[in-house]
Structure 1
Amino acid sequence: MVLPEPKDFIEEESRRRLFWMIYLLDRYATIATAFEFALDDREIDRSLPCRDDLWMANRKVETKWFTTHSFPEAEAVPRNDLNTTAHLGAFSYYIEVLGILSKIHTFLKQPVNIGVVEDVERWQLRYKELDNMLTSWKYGLPAEFSNMGKIFQPGSRNLSCTWVMLHATYHTTVIRLHSSAAYPTTRSPIFTPSFSASQRCLGAVENIAALTEFASTNGYLQRLGPPFAFTVWVSARLLLVHGSTVEHKLSQQIAFFVDTLRVLGAFWPVAQRYCSLLQRVLDEHRDSEQKGDGITPSSVKILADMRRTAFDLDFLISRQPRHGMHTMSQLSSEIPARIPAANELEYLDVFDFFNVPRLPLAGDSLAVPNEAVTHPAMHASSNVNPQHGIATDFNITNFMMDVNSDWFKQEGGKF
């Protein structure tokens, strides 16, 4: 079916915005999973939406094309083609940052053998390229869109919901990228957690908390929709991970995020689901804290155990046959047959977002022999790569971070 020509620019722009809203929904539906996007960036041939006021005035303008895949990926997305920067609004830049988030999702889906120097160097190089891309994009924004401090200035009540979501999504993207380096579930002598990456994550959480406070105080919450609830959900879970690894105590800010999700849940059922999951985890943590002996940090250990359970389940699920690679008889010989308990599936919902790096399995393009990287869910928590002699360790219940040897801030990323 071919649509008739639009009768005016309002209709033309409405169609364009409908496409970009579908793109937006596809991104939010996929970034928390291991699936591919339904809409591939490489196949998108469409211009970005224009400013709201131009659309409403029926003033036909040109905007640049969505072409993030066409430029060197270590650079920011160019904005000067056709000299149409002035025609772009918050929604345009919102789509751009979702494009960068898409690249990060694709990157984190790829398995990496953390016992092989070449694979780790390749992973770290791509990580730094994406960090440079995101940072350059942010610094390249026009002043009216780049300064989050506007929420503290007079007239902030006139900010659009899209402007708020632009900043919320940027900080969500920061967390998505840098949590992979800050809180990896497995480590090796050449793949270690980055302290500076954890600070980037915590800074993003602080900014999201400020946005959330602004939205709550000024009546924005019910207008921001499920994407904002997702941002709050990501922030709360990041604090759970940080508290169970680096800090060894939970931030009081988690309660604020849970309360916000409870308010959002009155409008959006998914927010209520997020709130319920977090509340159950916090209740279990509090019960453990009350039963503790005051010496052993049992309340912290239980959070680490939850994350470990989520990691084990994710591994078992990832071992399911794909594209006819395994028969059920083969699968049953590899994986212990058991049905996960309901609370274990809830742990997966809470912590799976941070189950990185993805280790190579048999059938992956870069996979080495099965014994080369042994998964802690199936074997001991430490092993040695027989080809390279490099040990790999579980990094949740025994988290270690060396502040003095931070590869993220080392020039060239050499070992």
Structure 2
Amino acid sequence: MESFSVENLQALIICAFDIIGSGRGPSAWSIVGSMTRTVEQLRLSTEEDEARLQQSTCKALIKRMAFLAPATTWTEVEERRRVFWNVFLMDRFCSISTGWNLSLTSADVKRRLPCEGAIWEAGEPGQTSTPYFGISTRSHDPEKDYLAAARESEEGQAALGGFAFCIEATESLSLVTSFFLQYEVDFKEVHEVQRWLMRFKQLDLRLVQWKFFLPEKWREACQFNNDGNLDPNLVLAHMTHNTAVVLLHQGLAYPSSEWQSVPVKLPSASSAETCQAAAIEVATIAAQFLNHSAILISPQFCFCLFVCGKMLLTHAAYYQSVLHSSFDSIVTSLEEISRRWNGATSSSSANLASKFSSRLREARLDGANAVDIREAFSEKHDAVGSPSTVGVDLQRTSLQAPSAPMDVSVSTILGEEINLDSFQTESPESISLAFPPLPLSFQLHSAPQDSILTSANPGTGMQGEINTNDDISGGYIDFSDLSEQTFHPSQRVSTLSSLYPGRQL
């Protein structure tokens, strides 16, 4: 921290990774914030050829301070590029999990994507350069209703690999939270609802296009490395993509009763099917990866499992159906990840994965009254210890679901107060992240308390008589009329591969 160098930045990345994975997220936030400033100060956020071009054509009366000498080899150039993208991923992860603004935006970043791992290991540049990647302009612009292109050009795609696709998928997940979930909308105004749904359609199309335009060898999460293991970056890319699909669709999949008056017919059944398919595939991919790889697992991997586990609980409670068996697989995967973080000789101390798994288990045992198990970090010690500050006002929790601007009280949404007594002995430091949300519109009183206790392997469970405005006719705008694109869940959801030898069908 006392000097600027690529090596010091690499050390900070390792420290932040360890702190977050150990379940002490708040301690890492300041480190991640420092890293995002350091990459800009070291000019790691800009390609060196881009910086030299600007210097050759433009002159300034004052020059910025430089800490790094220009890279002398391709390996050094790629090393700096990969260091930047690791910091970028941590910035996005912290923003997604807390609802805070992004630190790295397009105003400061002009970077090519990293090359495929095989090219990097060989130490020789590929025949073509990797393409530039377009990232978010800012966390949220209420006046901007369109997304920038992900890539400026499709040239150089052959040089991309799992790491690059993980970056793209993480940016999509970030956009779901910043461009859609945090967008404030007045649901009493038809035009505002239409604008909000158009944002949904843009993101939905972006996710479909990402999956569709992946090179064939990377299209499924079963790509093996030279050592015979699944590519961890590609696995995380597909899991992150499916998690983005879940967070995008869950608001429409499980709408509140208040949405019955919204003059737009929502595709709730289709979105619920999409959410369930994506969550099941995440559970499958994670289980197979853990069975064939003994490496330490990233916090983002755990995050994806937790989001999908909560969605499965939501689906079972909302449709009053039995809980899908993939929920057990998710909890088992989180327990295995927790064991790896503690190590073979370490005691069973709490970490991010163990906290996620314990919250899912407790929510399942407590029934519908504990499905919404979010907590937001607070610097005040009594923010967790006092019932008056935990679960009392969902408007104060971070990473709001799309229906947050409706200004509905907890009693209206949940029907009764959330039971968080079992969590109130924790200190703020032990709360690792502001946990990702269930749909704020989720009606807990619509499901019996024992509806999520039995695990089975049913269909989607959407045959129940849940009244949504899909059934309303006359005087309502059909959601599909807002855009020509309509997609089947299989077009959105990334899969492990039905041909993978370890897959259980």
Same fold flag (TM > 0.5): yes
Identify which of 56, 63, 66 aligns with 2:133.
66
Contact 1:74 1:132 in 2 (8 A): no
Counterpart Cα distance in 1 of 2:361 and 2:414: 30
Letter of the structure 1 residue corresponding to residue 74 of structure 2: F
CA contact (8 A) 1:104 1:177 kept: yes
| Contact 1:52–1:89 (CA under 8 A) maintained in structure 2 | yes
Partner of 1:97: 169
Q: Is the 2:146–2:199 contact (alpha carbons within 8 Å) kept by the matching residues of 1?
A: no
| Structure-1 separation of matches of 2:136 and 2:98 | 22
Q: Does 2:361 match 1:279? A: yes
User: Does the CA-based 8 Å contact 2:331-2:360 persist in structure 1?
Assistant: yes
Which is worse superposed, 373-382 or 84-93?
A: 373-382
Change (3 A) 1:353 1:68: closer
Quote the offset at 1:218 in angstroms. Answer: 1.1
* Counterparts in 2 of 1:93 and 1:44: CA distance versus 1, 3 Å: same
1:161-212 deviation per Cα after TM superposition (whole angstroms, max 9, x unaligned): 1111111111111112111221245524216572111111111112112202
CA-based RMSD of the aligned residues comes to 3.7
In structure 1, what is the equivalent of residue 410 of structure 2?
377
2:159 maps to: 87
- Deviations 1:109-138 (CA, angstroms, capped at 9, x unpaired): 111111111110110011001101111121
**More moved, 202-211 vs 50-59:** 50-59
1:5 and 2:70 correspond:
yes
Asked if the contact 1:73–1:129 (Cα under 8 Å) also holds between the matched residues in 2, the reply is: yes
SS in 1 for 2:339: coil
Q: 1:165 to 1:394 in 2, by over 3 A?
A: closer
Q: Does 1:119 align with 2:166?
A: no
Deviation at 1:157, TM superposition (A): 4.0
**2:343 is aligned with 1:261:** no
Aligned residue number for residue 201 of structure 1: 275
Q: 1:355 is aligned with what amino acid? A: A
In structure 2, relative to structure 1, the CA distance for the partners of 1:408 and 1:106 (3 Å cut) is: farther
- Conserved? CA contact 2:403–2:441, under 8 Å: no
1:217 correspondence with 2:291: yes
Partner residue of 1:340?
387
> Cα gap change, 1:193/1:33 in structure 2, threshold over 3 Å: closer, same or farther?
farther
With over 3 angstroms needed to count, the CA separation of the structure-2 counterparts of 1:75 and 1:8, relative to structure 1, is closer
Rate the CA distance shift 1:252–1:159 in 2: closer, same or farther, 3 A: closer
TM-score where L is the length of structure 2: 0.60
Q: Residues 279 and 99 (structure 1 numbering): CA distance in 2 closer, same or farther, change over 3 Å? A: same
Query: 2:390 matched to 1:357?
Result: no
| Letter of the structure 2 residue corresponding to residue 180 of structure 1 | G
Q: Any idea what SS the aligned residue of 1:31 has? A: helix
Q: Deviation per CA, 1:262-306, whole angstroms, max 9, x where unpaired? A: 111123421011112222222323xxxxxxxxxxxxxx4x24xx5
User: How far off its partner does 1:378 sit?
Assistant: 7.3
- The residue type equivalent to 1:56 in the other structure is E
1: distance between equivalents of 2:199 and 2:112? Answer: 27
Unaligned 5+ residue runs, structure 1?
Answer: 286-299, 319-337, 360-372, 383-392
Aligned to 1:163: 234
Map of 1:251 onto structure 2:
324
Contact 1:261 1:274 in 2 (8 A): yes
For the residues of structure 1 that align with 2:102 and 2:413, how far apart are their CA atoms?
35
| Aligned-partner residue type, residue 217 of structure 2 | E
Compare the two structures and name the one with the higher helix fraction: 1
Per-residue displacement from partner, 1:22-47 (whole Å, max 9, x unpaired)?
A: 11111112212221122224432111
Residues 182 and 401 in structure 2, CA contact (< 8 A), matched pair in contact too: no
Following TM superposition, by how much is the alpha carbon of 1:89 offset from its aligned partner in structure 2, in angstroms? 1.2
Hey, what's the Cα distance between the residues in 1 that align with 2:70 and 2:136?
29
Secondary structure of the structure 1 residue equivalent to 2:323? coil
Contact 1:31–1:105 at 8 Å: present in 2 too? yes
The reply on whether 1:228 has 2:298 as its aligned counterpart is no
Q: What is aligned with 1:327?
A: none
| Superposed counterparts of 1:159-198, under 5 Å | 159-184=230-255, 187-190=259-262, 194-198=268-272
Q: Are the aligned partners of 2:309 and 2:327 in contact in 1 as well (CA < 8 Å)?
A: yes
For residue 241 of structure 1, report the CA deviation from its aligned partner.
Answer: 1.2
Pairing of 1:13-52 with structure 2 (within 5 A)? 13-52=78-117
Structure 1 partner of 2:496: none
**Matched AA of 1:50:** C
Distance in 2 (CA, whole Å) between partners of 1:381 and 1:14 is 50
- 1:270–1:379: structure 2 CA closer, same or farther, 3 Å change rule? closer
In the alignment, the residues of structure 1 paired with residue 135 and residue 398 of structure 2 have an alpha-carbon distance, to the nearest angstrom, of 28
Q: Which amino acid aligns with 1:412?
A: L
Which whole-Å CA distance do the structure 2 matches of 1:408 and 1:9 have between them? 53
Q: CA deviation at 1:247?
A: 3.6
Deviations 1:202-253 (CA, angstroms, capped at 9, x unpaired): 1111211220221132135x43322111111111011111112124443332
Q: Distance in 2 between matches of 1:154 and 1:53?
A: 9
Contact residue 264 and residue 271 of structure 1 kept, 8 A: yes
Displacement of 1:8: 1.9
Q: Indicate conservation of the 8 Å contact 2:116/2:159, yes or no.
A: yes
**What residue identity is the alignment partner of 2:353?**
A
Change (3 A) 1:403 1:347: same
CA distance, structure 2, for counterparts of residue 183 and residue 156 of structure 1 = 43
Letter in 1 for 2:278: A
How far off its partner does 1:339 sit? 3.2
AA matched with 1:176: L
Counterpart of 1:401? 468
Q: Distance in 2 between matches of 1:233 and 1:172?
A: 10
TM superposition shift of 1:49: 0.5
> In 1, distance between residues paired with 2:330 and 2:187?
34
Identity of aligned residues (%): 24
Secondary structure at 1:283 match in 2: helix
